[in-house]
Structure formats: structure tokens, C-alpha cells
Structure 1
Amino acid sequence: MTTRDTVTPHDGTLRVLSTSDLAGIDITLTDVVDTVEQAYRTLAAGHSDNPRKLTVKPADGHSVAYAMLGRDGVRDVVAIKTSYKHGLHESRERQHYYTTLSIYDDVTGLPVAMMDCGRIGSLRTPAVSALLARECAAPDARTALVIGTGTQGRLALPFLLTTLPQLDRLMLSGTHPEGLAAVRAELARHFPDREPEVVTDLRRAAGEADVVVATAGGHTPAAVEADWLRPAAVTILVGHGLAPSTLHRADRVIATSEAQMQVTGTDMADADGKLPAVDQELPAVLSGAARARTAPGQRIFAYNSGLVITDIALGHRFAQLAAEQGLGTEVALWR
């Protein structure tokens, strides 16, 4: 994987990559995982910057907007990601959601690309879950359970198999037939010899799983309790599907960012509105400075919240591939 390919137009124009441009780029799951892992390692080494995001939300809560700035010290790029969702009180099909990533070369001082960030996020998040699973799972982990069949649920199993190829039983909990079919199709596309086992008894399935990844939406009735889990199980929260007890009764708590967990994980707070302290953050674990699992039999809770530094690295990787394939539209924005 290269990091400093020439992807910047020499005349200072901006390469704009649309949703359809990015959809046409073929990238392997291994490439995605490696790119995301490198971003975390670079951050842990102190070579990158990942400040807290800015948030604005009107009093009636009908919309929310975020701005996230960061710098990747290996790729030598600076980028800003914006995210805007409108219609939060509406059903999902009536909501409007836009997310963009603008990247600048911090060596030449020229713009690299501006792109839709939807596909970046849809790949980055399950890749992070897979890295958490690899670092937190017990050495003899063989069974995984994914809760939810939305965007994150559909890619969770292929990414898990990328970082934990020893998994030999894949369970899936979901209620939407089209979602279940989409998960099967996505798994077959990457691992044609594997088939997920659809489960209806969530308590039993959770008790048999070594790795549980909860990706369900906010309206899910699924809520795995700590008492359901087997010893040494790891639970990874991406969306919903885990009860607060899985966090508060865990032997170890790992997060991509403790600061972000304190802000975005409030639905997992206890009766006093508090969250437990995080034992380690993923960048330190991936760098080798810390360990996720410190003793056999520990139940680990892992919290997956996005860091913009991973969006930047993966977005820059897509910009590289787009430049190689001649994709995108070059716009003389500043002329």
C-alpha cells in the first residue's frame, strides 16, 4: 500500500469524486483494513492530529451537522469532513443526509480531492469493528454473532473474516427479509463458500458467541444482557443491540476514543448518567503500547466510534485509486 502517490492535479484544480465515481472503484477488504490500521498507528505515534468534532443542532432537533478536521502525518495530508442530516424526526426514507471529505496535500499545498464520504464511512466502520475483534477476541474464538442488517451489518461478517479467518460459525440476527438477503449477498461476494446462520433466539445465540457485533438501528428491540454472554466474550457496539449491562459489567472496556464515547455513548449510561472509565484506546493497542486482553476469561466491551483520521486515510486511498483510473471531474474552483 502506497501513501505518497502523486494524486494532486499540478494546475491546482480540484478533483471532485461523486458517489458513482467511488462506487466504481474496486478495493479489497485487506486494503481497507490495512489503511485504517495504519491511520491508528500513526495517530498513536503522535504523527497525526485528530481534534474533537464540532456539532451544531437546532433546539427542536430536526437536524444535526458535524465538522471534523484532521491531519495524517504519514500521508502528509490535511482534510475536513462535514456531515449534515436533516429530518431526524422523520422516517429514514424521508431524511436527507450529506457527508463530504475535502483533502489537501500538506507538502505541495495544493488540493487533492473533494468526495462524497458515504462509501468511505460504510467501509471504515466495519473495518474498525474487525480490528477491535482481532485485538479483543480470545485466541480460541470461533463463533461470531452480528446483530442488525443495515449498512454496517451487511459488511460486518466479511470484515470479521478478514481479520479473524479462524471463525467457523457465523450467526446473524435481523428482522428485515431484504436486509438478511443483502447480508447473505455481501458475504457471498467476498467469501462465496460461507453462509450465515440466521438466529431467532438472541439470548441463546449471544451465549454461544465469542464475538458479538451490534450494528442495529435505534428502534431495534434487541438488547443483549451481560448475563447472556459466555466467559471471554467480546461485545462490540457500533449502533444498537447491546444492553448497558454489557458495558458496566465488562472486565475490560476498550474504545476507539474515550472522549467520543463519553459524548456519543450516553444511551449506555447507568442510572446516575455515568459511563465507566475506558481501560485502553484502540490506537494504543494497535501500536503495541497496550493490550486489550490482559487475562484469560475476561469479558471485553469495545466501543466503535469513528475518528476522522481513518476517514482521511481511506479517502486519500480512494483518491489515489481514482487518479490511477482517471475517475472524477477536475474543477477549477479557485479560478
Structure 2
Amino acid sequence: MTGDGTLRVLSTSDLAGIEISPPDVVSVVEQACRALAAGHSDNPRKLTVKPDDGHSVAYAMLGRDGVRQVVAVKTSYKHGLREERDRQHYYTTLTLYDDRTGLPVAMMDCGRIGALRTPAVSALLARELAAPGSRTALVVGTGTQGRLALPFLLTTLPGLERLMVFGTHPDGIRAVCERVGAEVVTDLRKAAGEADIVIAAAGPGTPAAVEDSWLKPGALTVLVGYGVAPSTLHRADRVVATSAAQMRVTGTDLADPDGRLRDVDAELPAVLAGRAAGRTDPGQRIFAYNSGLVVTDIALGHRFAQLALAQGLGTAVPLWR
């Protein structure tokens, strides 16, 4: 954060060793959402570029955290969407600027930021929207988001008693079980019918597709990636999204045959701030769409940058010399 034309670059390895707990992440993310609801921050709709053949997708997101006084740009690019996971290329970066001094803060790999921010948002959605007395949760998927979903969920809902996981990758299944002692299920329909909370965090190649008719009354479905059928959205009693505008951009795979999505009844920031109702009846089946908010990336990225710079991490690049 100097005025000499240098930019501090924080790599994947720089950020990997920084310790931060799920409760800390949830707190930072919730603060960012509340600031947005209060009108202190800006979170414009993301821009998307995708070729006709669908082999890649790129996003650009600009935002401003009014509490931290930070402006940032996040970019995300994934190539090889139809390839196996180990053959895909994925790059995401976050560049932060101090809006008080006008100086750059840092540019960083945003992989870990997004990996932590997303389950924190799901945990907040669950805390606000799960039916009273919820005790059972099912996570569909065992990739990065599947592995982190339950530890974060336990942060906001420590009263959960039964944790289930459905996945297809042995290493991922083993990682989830070792971390939280989850029960591995193979009958997805039965497990979904017993769950109070279903978090769909699988990758695009998953065979899982939980239908609305499988869900019990009062169930909450949180969609992070894949793993549920469009019926869970279209037949829900209530729909909550982190951002209705972003859902219209990234949720097109859930559209009905006429290309339409269900209207969003409330957005998470407004629910957290008490300006909109989340659940209005214990028996409602609620669909929640977690598409992420760039202001949460900014807040968490800024926190990581503070910790990294305090430890002398990163590389100073003379970008503007």
C-alpha cells in the first residue's frame, strides 16, 4: 500500500498458510451483506462472456465495500467445461484498492477467498431460512464446496444432529467423513426426504438431481452448484437469493421450458438486515440460490490481504513504473 507504483501480489501459496476460522469468515461475510442492505456498499450485476459452443465461461465483477472503503474487481475464467475436472483450467483474481487513499492494496488469487465465502453464505442462508427445530442436513457433492459445506453449516446451526453426504468421488467422501463424521448415503431420494436442509454443491457432471417431490414439508434447499432438479425452484413455496439479478444471469439452467425463472421473493442481505422476511411459515419448502456477492469477496479478500501484509507475504511488482 505504497505510492511508488508497486502492486503487492499474493499467490495461492501466500494465502494458503493464513489461518482463519469458519466463525471469522461467517462474521466478515455477514457484515458485508448487512452493509450492502444498508446502502453503504455497491454490488452491480456481474458481466458474463461465454462462447456459443460453451467450452468456457468468464465473469467480471466490480464492487465497493463502503464499510472498509475498498473498491475491487474480481475476474473468473474457466476453460474446458465439458472436460474432466483434472483437464479444466480455472483462474480467478481479486484486485483491491483503498478508496480513502486511492492506492492499490493487493492483487490476489481469489480461489481460497471464493472457496470460503461460498459455504459461509450457505450457512447464513440456512441460519435464516431453515425451519425451526431443523436437525438433519444433506450435502450433495464432495468437491471443494461439498467438503466445506458442513463445517460452516455447523457454525451457524450447531444443533444439527445428523449430517449426510452424497457423492461420487471416494477421496472427497473420505475427506468429508474425516472432518465432520458425516454419514455417507447412497439412496439420494430417501436421504433427501429425511433432510431438513439440502445443500446442492456438486459439480456439473453429477448424476444427482433431487426433485421437489422428494422433499419433506418445511425443507430448505440451497443451490450452490449442481445436484437438484429445476422443480425444486419452480415448485418452492418461497424463493430467496443472494442476488436476484445474478440469479437471472447464472441460473438459466433452472429455467422452465419457456425460458423463465421463478421470481425471487427476498434477497439474503435484506433478510439479514430485517428488511425482508425469510421463512414466513414452518411448513414452507424454500429454495435458496447462492450465487455469491462480490462485496463478500471484497470483504474477505481485504481481510486476507491485511493478514498477509502484516506477515510480510507477497511479491511487490513494479506494475506502474
- Same fold, judged at TM 0.5 (above): yes
Q: Which residue of 2 aligns with 1:238?
A: 224
Confirm or deny: 8 A CA contact 1:9 1:15 kept in the other structure. Answer: no
The answer to whether structure 1 residue 80 and structure 2 residue 66 are counterparts is no
Q: 2:121 aligns with which of 115, 122, 128?
A: 128
Q: Which residue of 1 aligns with 2:184?
A: 198
Q: Which residue of 1 aligns with 2:292?
A: 306
Q: Which amino acid aligns with 1:224?
A: V
Q: Which residue of 1 aligns with 2:62?
A: 69
Q: Which residue of 2 aligns with 1:43?
A: 36
Between the aligned partners of 2:116 and 2:307, the Cα distance in structure 1 is: 15
- The Cα shift of 1:89 comes to 3.5
CA separation of 1:324 and 1:135: change in aligned 2, threshold 3 A: same
Q: Which residue of 1 aligns with 2:141?
A: 148
Between the aligned partners of 1:225 and 1:88, the Cα distance in structure 2 is: 24
Q: Which residue of 2 aligns with 1:3?
A: none
CA separation of 1:60 and 1:296: change in aligned 2, threshold 3 A: closer
Confirm or deny: 8 A CA contact 1:214 1:241 kept in the other structure. Answer: yes
Between the aligned partners of 2:195 and 2:253, the Cα distance in structure 1 is: 24
Matched position secondary structure for 1:119? helix
Confirm or deny: 8 A CA contact 1:12 1:110 kept in the other structure. Answer: no
Q: Which residue of 1 aligns with 2:198?
A: 212
1:221-248 residue CA offsets vs partner (Å, 9 max, x unmatched): 2111111111111000111111111111
Alignment of 1:91-130 (within 5 A): 91-130=84-123
Between the aligned partners of 1:206 and 1:84, the Cα distance in structure 2 is: 33
Deviates more, 1:290-299 or 1:113-122: 290-299
Confirm or deny: 8 A CA contact 1:16 1:113 kept in the other structure. Answer: yes
Matched position secondary structure for 1:27? coil
1:293-330 residue CA offsets vs partner (Å, 9 max, x unmatched): 11121111100101111111110010011122221112
CA separation of 1:292 and 1:114: change in aligned 2, threshold 3 A: same
Confirm or deny: 8 A CA contact 1:184 1:195 kept in the other structure. Answer: yes
The two structures have a TM-score, normalised by structure 2, of 0.97
Q: Which runs of 5+ in 2 are unaligned?
A: none
- The Cα shift of 1:259 comes to 1.2
Q: 2:268 aligns with which of 282, 288, 294?
A: 282
Alignment of 1:157-176 (within 5 A): 157-176=150-169
Cα RMSD for the two superposed structures: 1.3
Identity among equivalent positions (%) equals 78
Q: Which runs of 5+ in 1 are unaligned?
A: 1-7, 188-193
Confirm or deny: 8 A CA contact 1:39 1:72 kept in the other structure. Answer: yes
Confirm or deny: 8 A CA contact 2:132 2:282 kept in the other structure. Answer: no
Confirm or deny: 8 A CA contact 2:46 2:246 kept in the other structure. Answer: no
Q: 1:54 aligns with which of 47, 52, 57?
A: 47
The answer to whether structure 1 residue 226 and structure 2 residue 226 are counterparts is no
Between the aligned partners of 1:245 and 1:293, the Cα distance in structure 2 is: 19
- The Cα shift of 1:62 comes to 2.9
Matched position secondary structure for 1:311? helix
Q: Which amino acid aligns with 1:293?
A: R
Matched position secondary structure for 2:100? coil
- The Cα shift of 1:10 comes to 5.8
How many residues are aligned here?
321
Confirm or deny: 8 A CA contact 1:54 1:68 kept in the other structure. Answer: yes
